[in-house]
Amino acid sequence: MCGIVGYVGDRNAYPILIKGLHRLEYRGYDSAGFALVGKNGELNVYKCKGKVSALENFVEGKDVEGSCGIAHTRWATHGEPNSVNAHPHYSCTENIALIHNGIIENWALLKKALIREGYEFKSETDTEVLVNLIEYVRNTNKCSLLDAVRGALKQVIGAYAIAVVEKGREDEIIVARQSSPLVVGIGEGEYFLASDATPIVEYTDKVVYLQDGEIAVLTKNKPLRVVNFDNAECPIDVKKLEMNISELEKGGYKHFMLKEIHEQPKTIMDCLRGRLSPDSYDVILSGVRDNAYRFLSARRIIIVACGTSWHASLIGEHLIEDLCRIPVEVEYASEFRYRNPVLSPEDVVIAVSQSGETADTLAAMSLAKAAGCFVFGICNVIGSSVARASDAGCYIHVGPEISVASTKAFTGQVTVFAMIALTLANTLTRISRDRFEQLSKALLDLPALVQAELDTLDAPIKELAEKFKDSRDFIYIGRGYEFPVALEGALKLKEVSYIHADGYPAAEMKHGPIALIDKTMPVLAIAIPDALYEKTASNVQEVKARGGVVISVVSNDDEMVSKMSDYAIRVPVTDPCLMPVLVSIPLQLFAYYIADAKGLDVDQPRNLAKSVTVE
């Protein structure tokens, strides 16, 4: 987590840094700060607790001139979120300033050693240890800043993306990466750096994604230099950035979350485009096609993910087992990586991650690779660590997701899983051509159905949200394909509205949660027409019999469950295996409108961050 951004060139750095921090605020917003090297070489650090807007107020009227600067927005790991622990951190002499995304694991040992050398520390952070270590190496070895950074990093264990500036050097920033993302943007005689490309896109489309163990020297008007920790020159792979600035703005919506919910007809279409032919109904996913033998000979498929991506993976499990009859297990990446799982080279591991930077997911992938498994990545961010660490993969192509609560990435992930399942089922001849074409067509029809839902449901759900905004708890129930949707609906509500919500398989209610039912406990029941409809209807009856308040999500022409319910949300119908997409839309809107009705900061809920690059 944490976002870092930097600029060196001829422009005034401050506006670039602030705009960049706003773009990266989804990565954390406990505190923010920046360091500038001014025209006369002076190095100034400005930082404060709170969001980037607090930082803007804080520097109002202060001198923020300078064309070399680094900035940071923090998601606290070491030390509480306050202005002392905020980045950048000065070295003891205030000659060097550093920003850092990640964790230095051996900070305590290094700190002890530096204290013995007379260093004093103001903050509780691991970052202050690193900046002082760099200064120590620089002074002891009388070496260049680059060599000092190299020397310090050789002693460091952990994950980091760092940027370093020094007093008197208004033309240079040194950056380095190990397991945390870092992109360098190359302009005309100027450089940009950031945790992802969003702060860079309006200035240049030439970017370099630094690799682990690389240090880059960004010097104004000089070519980019990249070396490894042993000072050997590294090849520089300049990529063209494919990103549209309008995707990074709210486009008239009050929040990114609402914008992203409403984008889904387009993002699902973008995900299908070029992969599912509207003429032949054939599905072509090159990452799957080119490695079909790995999937087809798989002893089993293991899917690893976190958060919302884990919920999408549960739907992926249903799809692949249902259509392909290949055994699938879904694991929390954070559990999988530490529980000594039994793996073999005949296993296929699918890693699912919107950001492609989640530390636990990346660690789970390394474990799988070490065991010889074939590792397939499903992610959104182009060039992300998951994409690079995979043997093959598939992007969901839903565009930048800015809201911390994931919406369009979830439906994109489900769409990709549906295409993977169709491809494998077809190759294995586990489904008939008729069924294959029926499902392909249903996938192609999804964007229009989602649009119809958004057109008809937005206003009524806003009204419904007003009625439930003061609830303290919620239970979401569903069965089969809809159980993961219940989990995801409950997670969305928790994340943005801070209302406690649990997702349950509907039939499990009677094994515990039913004890909670009374008139203050609303139950959101998903009861769409599938093989389990009647059974879910009985579960709804059980709730009603105990005085519970039921909001049901039912089909447009539902008669039974809607009558039992206090409120019914009606959705269009498609094949049951694609219904998770249509059912998740109203649940996203419901969570959004409750949070908005409560006046909460929907896009940046407390304590959360979009990209969790620490374990």
Residue 569 Cβ, how far from ligand G6P at the closest point, in Å? 23
Closest by Cα among 33, 175, 31 to 90:
33
Helix 482-497 and helix 579-597: axis angle, to 10°? 20
Q: Per CB under 6 A, does 610 bind ligand G6P? A: yes
Q: Per CB under 6 A, does 397 bind ligand G6P? A: no
Q: In this structure, are residues 131 and 91 in contact, taking their beta carbons and an 8 Å threshold?
A: yes
Q: Which of residues 428-467 bind ligand G6P (CB under 6 A)?
A: none
Residue 47 Cβ, how far from ligand G6P at the closest point, in Å? 24
Q: Per CB under 6 A, does 31 bind ligand G6P? A: no
* Neighbour count for residue 302 (Cβ, 10 Å): 25
Residue from 328, 608, 613, 614 touching ligand G6P (CB under 6 A): that is 608
Binders of ligand G6P: how many residues, by CB under 6 A?
A: 15
Q: In this structure, are residues 85 and 124 in contact, taking their beta carbons and an 8 Å threshold?
A: yes
**Measured from the CB atom, is 6 or 102 closer to ligand G6P?**
102
Residue from 127, 180, 308, 334 touching ligand G6P (CB under 6 A): that is 308
Q: Which of residues 287-306 bind ligand G6P (CB under 6 A)?
A: 306
Q: What is the 3-state secondary structure (H, E, C) of 164-221?
A: EEECCCCCEEEEEEEECCCEEEECCCCEEEECCCCCCCCCCCEEEECCCCEEEEEECC
Chain position whose Cβ is nearest to ligand G6P: 307
Q: Per CB under 6 A, does 407 bind ligand G6P? A: no
* Neighbour count for residue 426 (Cβ, 10 Å): 21
Q: Is 2 a catalytic residue?
A: yes
Q: Per CB under 6 A, does 406 bind ligand G6P? A: yes
**Measured from the CB atom, is 132 or 407 closer to ligand G6P?**
407
d(CA 306, CA 614): 12
Q: Per CB under 6 A, does 361 bind ligand G6P? A: yes
Residue 487 Cβ, how far from ligand G6P at the closest point, in Å? 12
Which of 84-92, 475-483, 561-569, 605-613 is the region at the interface with ligand G6P (rule: CB under 6 A)? 605-613
Residue from 88, 102, 307, 412 touching ligand G6P (CB under 6 A): that is 307
HSE-up (13 A, CA, CB side) for residue 373:
28
| Residue located via tokens 């760092």 | 162
Q: Which of 2, 48, 271, 373 is catalytic?
A: 2
Write out the two tokens for 245: 């600035």
φ/ψ of residue 272, rounded to 5: -80, -25
Indicate if the alpha-carbon torsion angle 421, 427, 429, 435 is positive or negative.
Answer: positive
Q: In this structure, are residues 100 and 160 in contact, taking their beta carbons and an 8 Å threshold?
A: yes
Q: Per CB under 6 A, does 358 bind ligand G6P? A: yes
Q: Which of 47, 259, 494, 610 is catalytic?
A: 610
**Measured from the CB atom, is 33 or 307 closer to ligand G6P?**
307
Please give the C-alpha separations between residue 202 and each of 18, 197, 244, 248, in angstroms, as whole numbers.
14, 10, 9, 10
**Measured from the CB atom, is 9 or 484 closer to ligand G6P?**
484
Closest by Cα among 16, 135, 140, 3 to 67:
16
Contacts with ligand G6P by CB under 6 A lie at 306-309, 353-355, 358, 361, 404, 406, 608, 610-612
* Residues carrying an active site annotation: 2, 610
